Chain A
Amino acid sequence: MTKSPKELRAEGATPLVEMDDISISFGGIKAVDSVSVDLQPGEVVGLLGHNGAGKSTLIKILSGAYQKDSGEIRIDGKPVEITNPRDARSHNIETIYQTLALADNLDAASNLFLGRELVTPTGLVDDSAMEAECRKIFKQLNPNFQKFNEPVSALSGGQRQSVAIARAVYFNARILIMDEPTAALGPHETQMVAELIQQLKAQGIGIFLIDHDVHAVMELCDRASVMKNGQLVGTVDIEDVTDDDLLSMIILGKKPGEAAA
């Protein structure tokens, strides 16, 4: 890393991804209302807010699960259209969902390559090659993992999470979206994910991290954007705020130093 994300931002460098003035409504309710967030390479931006604040909805627009009503998404400064998960993938945006988004009945390799299977010259799915690749990536991510021939339903929460993360890493994600990646995990596994985030950050990957846990955000993120009722309360540098500041942004919906509305 030559420059930190903060230095890049200070210089006015083009962000890796910008979501500009994004809005989406469901049945007349504005789930996301004119929200703008951005992300530098190697930066972790936390998205905070209550349940229903619109943070998952916002991020699902970036991952292609929902389509925005208005606003613009720019990657490397260029406007892009993302209308489905395939579009997002073609822009190297990978998502690790809260619900893990794994097919429980398939094994790790099939999940890792789901939608992007390796095939033999005759066009048939090449399970052996996929398992070999899967073993390679797990040697790096989680060397103790051995259950390559069992459905992922037989795996622990942490192992399942590593399958989801392996998918993002294997396909060279530049932009990684993690929707409460530690929600289903024990303390030890949470630590593993935290270390992984540091590792990915060092590789220059930009990460959006959605989390309820203010402490986790304080520990892992460079900046935090707080949402309430579909609107952006504000984006702050983690170095400039305390846990309490973030909490009051989440609960009261005001930036530190601002008077209560």
Chain B
Amino acid sequence: MTDTTTQPIPSSKPRNLFQQLELDTRLLGMIGAFIILCIAFNVLTDGRFLTPRNIFNLTIQTVSVAIMATGMVFVIVTRHIDLSVGALLATTSAVMAMVQTEVLPQTLGMGLNHPATWAITIVVGLAVGTLVGAFHGWMVGYLAIPAFIVTLGGFLVWRNVAWYLTDGQTIGPLDGNFLMFGGTNGTLGTTWSWIIGIVATVLALLTLWNARRAKAGHGFPVKPIWAEVTFSLVISGTILGFIWILNSYNIPSRRLARMFEARGETMPEGLVVGYGLPLSVFILIAVAVVMTVVARRTRFGRYIFATGGNPDAAELSGINTRMLTVKIFALMGFLCALSAVVASARLANHSNDLGTLDELRVIAAAVIGGTALSGGIGTIYGAILGALIMQALQSGMAMVGVDAPFQNIVVGSVLVLAVLIDIIYRKRLGAK
């Protein structure tokens, strides 16, 4: 028993720097690519790309796709696919548009901009999204129809259910309070943004520290303390720097004046107010944190990755993989509805083409973010970064003045190239 042949690494061998730091080299590569991209666009646009204003816009444009991409990670990790997310976004948006402009104010006689309208609307929308997703999951899990087919069908069905529900019309304006979730119409202001930034920093550092203590408590190797401190500084700097940038984008003075007029007040001369953290971005951050915890620290998440790695092993380990599929698709549907809230609120109305091609953007974001279509591998932060890279690429090219057809040609090529680099990277890693 004591004599096994296969033990290439003696425990005493000093680990190299990268191993000691337990850095995710893939993530570093992506962050590097993103930074290079941003700097390049900044140079090409004479410094217009990396302004608080553009960064603010970039983040609120990314939110909708990024929220869905986190759910798509789970779907793809379990070797499924969801082609219906854009259409489902449209249907849930259409349902919510009808609820807040027709059903609640007129049919139920609550009138326009009733304070409860936004909440009821969102609850209804999330419920519809979750139910439709669960239905997809049931067909995939229990009826064993391939997810590709179920969601290809869903793509046609839900796109046109949305059309039918609204007669193809643009529905708007939406409820005043509902618009808070769109971005510019609902920001937290500088003070609250700082508070949230500081709370987030403290929580992040506490999490790091707790993880280290748990490891040390069992006598496992931990990172050197200087690495831990450096990492903490980078995290704190990123969070607070992000808040600082969003806070330094000031509400245009004419817009500010209109806001004061609406309240019947006059704007004090020379007043400067920063936007701060948009509510929609805050939602994305919350989704990212919750989804990461689900992926890493819950049984549900563990079973998702186990099923993706080896469905038979998961089944034989007593995991109910069919029910798991239903839950994953239900979660995907929920996130589609959440994205629908953000997307329709950002545009201030529901239009018939809302979410068109989003399924492809979402899948691309997840895949650029390192989710393997063969299953078992993927991260939430990767998918969000993937969505951010795609959006940066798209709006950067628009700012530079690249013709529209070329924009899509570039985005498509980048997708294929990113996957190629990933394949080469993984081969190297495997051969090591």
Residue of B2, B306, B315 near A85 (CB, 8 A) is B315
Nearest B residue to A123 via CB reads B298
CA distance A189 to B220 in the complex (A): 28
How near does chain B come to A95, taking the closest CB pair, in angstroms? 7
B4 and A144 contact, CB distance less than 8 A? yes
Query: Contacts A103-B306, A124-B293 given: A189-B312 contact, CB under 8 Å?
Result: no
A209 to B60 alpha-carbon distance, docked (Å) = 60
Q: Please tell me the number of chain A residues within 8 Å of chain B, measured between CB atoms.
A: 50
CB neighbours (8 Å) of B189 from chain A are none
Known contacts A105-B305, A105-B309; is-contact A144 B7 (Cβ 8 Å):
yes
- Complexed CA–CA distance, A115 and B218 (Å): 23
Among A33-41, A50-58, A125-133, A220-228, which stretch is in contact with chain B?
A: A125-133
Bound: A205/B4 CA distance, A: 24
Contact (A125, B218) CB under 8 Å given A84-B318, A103-B314, A192-B4:
no
CA A129 to CA B2, docked complex, whole Å:
24
A195 touching B1, Cβ below 8 Å = yes
Complex Cα distance, B218 from A145, in Å, reads: 17
In the complex, are the beta carbons of A146 and B9 less than 8 A apart? yes
Q: How far is the CA of A142 from the CA of B3 in the complex (A)?
A: 8
Are the CB atoms of A101 and B316 closer together than 8 Å? yes
User: Which of A84, A103, A110, A124 gathers the greatest number of chain B CB atoms within 10 Å?
Assistant: A103
Q: Which residues of B contact A248 (CB under 8 A)?
A: none
Asked if A89 and B318 sit within 8 Å, CB to CB, the answer is yes
Whether the pair A142, B1 counts as a contact (CB closer than 8 A) is yes
Check: B214 CB closer than 8 A to any chain A CB: yes
Nearest CB of B to A15, in Å? 25
Contact of A101 among B5, B296, B313, B376 (CB under 8 A): B313
Q: Which of B6, B293, B297 has the most CB of A within 10 A?
A: B6
Does A30 sit within 8 A of B, measured CB to CB? Answer: no
A-contact 0/1 string along B1-43, CB 8 Å cutoff: 1111111011100000000000000000000000000000000
Are the C-beta atoms of A104 and B376 separated by less than 8 Å? Answer: yes
Q: Do A143 and B2 have beta carbons less than 8 Å apart?
A: yes
Residue interface bits A137-148, CB-to-B below 8 A is 1, else 0: 000011111110
B220 and A192 contacting across the interface, CB-CB below 8 Å: no
Give chain B nearest CB distance to A128 CB in angstroms.
4
Q: Report whether A125 and B299 are in contact in the complex, using a CB–CB cutoff of 8 Å.
A: yes
**Which of B7, B9, B293, B308 has the most chain A CB atoms closer than 10 A to its own CB?**
B7
Residue contact B220 to A131, C-beta cutoff 8 Å: yes
Given contacts A128-B217, A158-B4, contact A104 B309 (CB under 8 A): yes
Please report the C-alpha to C-alpha distance between residue A131 and residue B216 in the assembled complex, in whole angstroms: 12
Who on chain A is nearest to B13 by CB?
A146
B307 to chain A, nearest CB (A): 8
Report how far A117 CA is from B302 CA in the complex, Å.
Answer: 9
Are B297 and A114 in contact (CB-based, < 8 A)? Answer: no
Judge if B51 is at the interface, Cβ distance under 8 Å. no
**Chain B residues near A104 (CB-CB < 8 A):** 309-310, 376
How far apart are B344's CB and chain A's nearest CB, in angstroms?
Answer: 34
Q: Is B317 an interface residue (CB 8 A)?
A: yes
Contact partner of B7 (CB less than 8 A), chosen from A101, A114, A145, is A145
A159 at the interface (CB under 8 A from B): yes
Residues of B that sit less than 8 Å from A by CB: 1-7, 9-11, 214-215, 217-218, 220, 293, 296-299, 301-303, 305-310, 312-319, 376-377
Closest 6 CB pairs of A and B: A103-B309, A105-B309, A115-B317, A105-B376, A156-B6, A86-B318
Known contacts A114-B313, A128-B217, then 16 further A-B pairs from the complex at CB < 8 Å, ordered by chain A residue? A101-B316, A103-B306, A103-B310, A103-B376, A105-B309, A105-B377, A115-B303, A115-B318, A125-B302, A127-B297, A146-B9, A146-B10, A158-B5, A189-B6, A192-B1, A199-B1
